[in-house]
Amino acid sequence: MAAFPDVTTRIVEQKPGRLVLGQADGVACRTMEMFEAFGFSERVLKEAYWVNETSFWRPDDARRGSITRSGRIQDTEDGLSEFPHVILNQARVHDFYLDVMRGGPAPLEPDYSRRLLDLAIAPPGADGPVSHPVTVTLERTDLALQGQLETVRARYVVGCDGARSTVRGALGRALHGDSANQAWGVMDVLAVTDFPDIRLKATIHSAHDGAVLIIPREGGYLVRIYVELDKLADNERISSRNVTAERLIATARRVLHPYTLEVKEVAWWSVYEIGQRLCDKFDDTPEGAAGARDPCVFIAGDACHTHSPKAGQGMNVSIQDSFNLGWKLAGVLRGRCRPCILHTYSAERRAVAQELIDFDRKWAKMFSAPPKAPATPTARASIRRSSRATSSSRGVSPPARRPDTTPRSSRPSRSISTWPRASRSGCASIPRRSSAWRTPGRSSSATRSRRTDAGACSPSPTRWTPPPRAAA
């Protein structure tokens, strides 16, 4: 909206200031394409960790108390997008959006420290719809003006206020669904470990201690670790378990055995319950009344759909929600689209959210399932299904494995331990919107995946180093 000087927009935020540490971190290829439309994709690429591969670990058949690598695949299929799948703190994404807003033709800055108290929609009058039908009451939460009330009248309101959305409650709508009664913990840690795939996206299943998902963070030092916890009883909340960061670390150590994990610092941690819930409609128009009036209040993101974070789609789908709604609102407000186009937002985005939740329900159940018995066809098939589902969880399907016809004696035999150390930025200098990093046989200063004799990808260095030249 900052791109349109003829549209007056106000952004209200309950937090006291800009986001400093975000919970979301996965940025899908499609989201990167939207960042390109806003003009800051290059900034994201230079700061982010590039997810080129995913590795899979399961209990060792010979020693069930230990884990062994069972596979490694390319994270996104060739030709999916000119952009990679990357990891970057949500707070940095917010900063980039704020920069775009401040530099637009109609500069915008969020109004912080304001809590929504009430939202009312005026019914159409005798002369037709009211010009500004939505009235919003805000309460100041900053110390200087704490308790002071503000009233805002608007043509349209969009509620992006999370799973406990006040806007959704004002519309009389609710999230419907169920919970898998499964608790998980997540932590961003600075750690010392001999686990060989610590700088790769990795899923690890142990025989008796649950599962762990590892996501390297940007910068080359921090790692995000998702830790499976105990199942919850019906109607039980994870807050009643008094889970601590020390417990998450201890569980992660048991899962990673025989590898060691020494946590030097915990930058952030949290616990959560897996639940897949969806709102019946994403606007204020009653069912069956689409032809009677047009919507003027909308909800987006977690306000209308919630799911587990391991699929890596929460921030991505939420951004896509607002992108879909934003251009339609701009078109209507500038007189270039009829208001009836706003009905398509709820229909289009609810269908996408339903597909995501259906997948997330299956994925969460499969990820939390205990590993199969060793060395059986069923176990091997389960590993393959898990591998494909994990790659698809970021919005894509993995490529089919292609046999390597190169003679074995001619294939590279470089081991994991000989790859260069990760750089601080998590990637090298990035060529402008080039897909050469993913194309076999082409050189690039960015990270490229490399094929092994099994058709999967070997570990990619996070900074490409040219081979030394022979002495003249």
Catalytic pick from 133, 216, 295, 309? 309
Closest CA to 129 of 296, 14, 326: 296
Catalytic pick from 217, 349, 350, 394? 217
Alpha carbon 388 to chain centroid distance? Answer: 18
Alpha helices in 200-339 (DSSP H): 245-256, 314-333
CB atoms within 10 A of CB 134: 19
Closest CA to 88 of 17, 35, 162: 35
How far, in Å, CA of 427 to CA of 5, rounded? 38
DSSP string, 157-182: EEE---TT-HHHHHTT--EEEEEEEE
Q: Tell me the two tokens of residue 66.
A: 């230990």
Q: Map tokens 């180093």 to a residue.
A: 465
CB atoms within 10 A of CB 402: 8
Q: Tell me the two tokens of residue 253.
A: 């150590």
Q: Can you name the residues that pair with 69 across neighbouring β-strands?
A: 57
SS3 84: coil
Contacts of range 368-376, beta carbons closer than 8 Å, 24 or more positions apart: 368/180, 368/182, 368/210, 368/211, 368/228, 370/205, 370/207, 371/58, 371/59, 371/205, 371/206, 371/207, 374/59, 374/61, 374/64, 375/61
The verdict on whether 217 is a catalytic residue reads yes
How far, in Å, CA of 430 to CA of 1, rounded? 30
SS3 365: helix
The verdict on whether 112 is a catalytic residue reads no
SS3 437: helix
SS3 198: coil
The verdict on whether 469 is a catalytic residue reads no
Q: Are 358 and 392 in contact (CB under 8 A)?
A: no
The residues, ordered by sequence, that sit 6+ positions from 145 with a Cβ below 8 Å of its Cβ are none
SS3 192: strand
Alpha carbon 302 to chain centroid distance? Answer: 12
SS3 223: strand
Catalytic pick from 199, 226, 284, 294? 226
Catalytic pick from 25, 161, 302, 360? 25
SS3 241: helix
How far, in Å, CA of 19 to CA of 15, rounded? 8
SS3 250: helix
The verdict on whether 97 is a catalytic residue reads no
The residues that are catalytic are 25, 217, 226, 309
